[in-house]
Amino acid sequence: MDLELRHLKIVRAVAEAGSVTKAATQLGLAQPSLTAQLKRIERTLGGALFERDRNGARPTPLGELVLTRARVLLPAVRELQEEAVRFANTYTGIAGFRIGATHGPILGGLVERLTVAHPSTPISTRTSWSARELTTLVSAGRLDFALIGTCGESAPPAAEAMTWAVVGTDPVFVLLREDHPLAAEKELELSGLAGEGWALTPGDGCFSDCFAGACARAGFVPRNVYETDVATCLHLVKAGKAVALCQATFELTAGLVMMPVAGTPLRWRHLLGWHPDSLAARTAPLVTDHARDAHAEAVRRNGRYADWLVANPGFGTIP
């Protein structure tokens, strides 16, 4: 019998579980079947790999040798498989762009620019509330790029395994009904909204905690917080049941006004990420430039934000 990777996995499972019975349960095998396989592996390798008694299974010196090699080989093979998937799924002879994004103002403009600049190149998109999910898909080779946001200076998911470029940094503004008593102000004090309900979109970062912290520093606890989709947020604001938090690049709809918050207690960084070992990495500078152009256009469309940037030059699109 030739030694196979599955045999090394069996040896590792027995060593980690400390008994053949527990390893069989973890592997989804019957205990007699696993015992028989282990005996065949031991015959192939020339000796006993475990000392087995009623207290469990302990590696013999030969078993320790095999385990040492298995702990190197199995992760290496897994990495090879993941790299092969990234290679196969990233490009199949023709360059393509598979972009995942959390909900934000940049994706539409990015796709528009890529289709104009590369009309024959296939492009697909995927959206999710979860930046962690999108990052996992990039790492697995199922997406080329993740366009996400992070609160303040917080690190993106898998920061050590991905390469990230900052597209731009926006302040977080507040959406009000145009007939709200504070709608005529130039900017709002967060404490002035203490009696309001709040609508915000979900995510798996720290934004909710940062918002709660900003409210605490302003001297209040939010009365009602509605975490929901964009359409419902807008409905609640228009109905006068809440005010909403939004990126300053948000495109306004009729009946609403966007207001800066004094001191800018909350901000949002737009990031573009890719796996450094993927073939997509070679197009990352191009895609990053297009993403920044899309962000800059979103800023220009919002006159209130563009005017605010004159006095707050630390925000906006990264040059």
Q: What is the mean pLDDT of residues 114-132?
A: 91
pLDDT at site 23? 87
Binning pLDDT at 50, 70 and 90, where does residue 158 land?
Answer: confident
Task: Using the predicted structure, report yes or no on whether residue 300 has a pLDDT greater than 80.
Answer: yes
The verdict on residue 74 lying in a domain is yes
Domain interval for residue 82 = 5-87
The verdict on residue 27 lying in a domain is yes
**Contact assessment for residue 226 and residue 198, using Cβ atoms and an 8 Å cutoff:** yes
Total number of residues shown for the chain: 319
Cα(275)–Cα(259) distance, rounded to whole angstroms? Answer: 37
Average confidence score pLDDT of the chain: 89
Cα(14)–Cα(17) distance, rounded to whole angstroms? Answer: 5
Nearest to 12 by CA among 1, 28, 25, 23: 23
Which of 39, 58, 87 is the C-terminal boundary of a domain?
A: 87
**Residue 130 and residue 73 in one domain:** no
Residues 6+ apart with CB under 8 A from 152: 206, 210, 266, 267, 269
Higher-confidence residue: 162 or 80? 162
Which of 87, 110, 125 is the C-terminal boundary of a domain?
A: 87
The verdict on residue 205 lying in a domain is yes
pLDDT at site 157? 85
**Residue 226 and residue 122 in one domain:** yes
**Residue 83 and residue 101 in one domain:** no
- Give residue-wise pLDDT tens across range 201-229: 988 888 989 999 999 999 999 989 999 99
Least trusted range by pLDDT, from 44-48, 163-167, 277-281: 277-281
Give the helix ranges, DSSP H, for the chain: 5-17, 20-27, 31-45, 61-90, 107-117, 131-139, 207-217, 230-238, 284-301, 303-311
The CATH number for 202's domain is 3.40.190.290
Q: What is the mean pLDDT of residues 14-32?
A: 87
Binning pLDDT at 50, 70 and 90, where does residue 124 land?
Answer: very high
Q: What are phi and psi of 143, to 5 degrees?
A: -135, 155
pLDDT at site 86? 57
The CATH number for 60's domain is 1.10.10.10
Which of 32, 54, 87 is the C-terminal boundary of a domain?
A: 87
**Residue 108 and residue 191 in one domain:** yes
Task: Using the predicted structure, report yes or no on whether residue 118 has a pLDDT greater than 70.
Answer: yes
**Residue 125 and residue 240 in one domain:** yes
What is the number of domains present in the chain?
2
**Residue 148 and residue 287 in one domain:** yes
Task: Using the predicted structure, report yes or no on whether residue 193 has a pLDDT greater than 90.
Answer: yes
**Residue 83 and residue 102 in one domain:** no
Cα(137)–Cα(115) distance, rounded to whole angstroms? Answer: 23
Tell me the β-bridge partners of 317.
168
Total Cβ atoms within 10 A of residue 178: 12
The verdict on residue 261 lying in a domain is yes
Task: Using the predicted structure, report yes or no on whether residue 95 has a pLDDT greater than 80.
Answer: no
Cα(274)–Cα(162) distance, rounded to whole angstroms? Answer: 6
Q: What is the mean pLDDT of residues 294-313?
A: 91
**Residue 106 and residue 229 in one domain:** yes
The verdict on residue 183 lying in a domain is yes
The DSSP code sequence of 239-260 is TTS-EEEEETTPPP-TTEEEE-
**Residue 251 and residue 157 in one domain:** yes
**Contact assessment for residue 141 and residue 89, using Cβ atoms and an 8 Å cutoff:** yes
The verdict on residue 118 lying in a domain is yes
pLDDT at site 212? 92
**Residue 152 and residue 81 in one domain:** no
In the chain, the largest separation of any two C-alpha atoms, in whole Å, equals 85
The verdict on residue 92 lying in a domain is no
**Residue 233 and residue 305 in one domain:** yes
Task: Using the predicted structure, report yes or no on whether residue 252 has a pLDDT greater than 90.
Answer: no
The verdict on residue 236 lying in a domain is yes
- Give residue-wise pLDDT tens across range 258-269: 999 999 999 999
Q: What are phi and psi of 217, to 5 degrees?
A: -65, -30
**Residue 151 and residue 299 in one domain:** yes
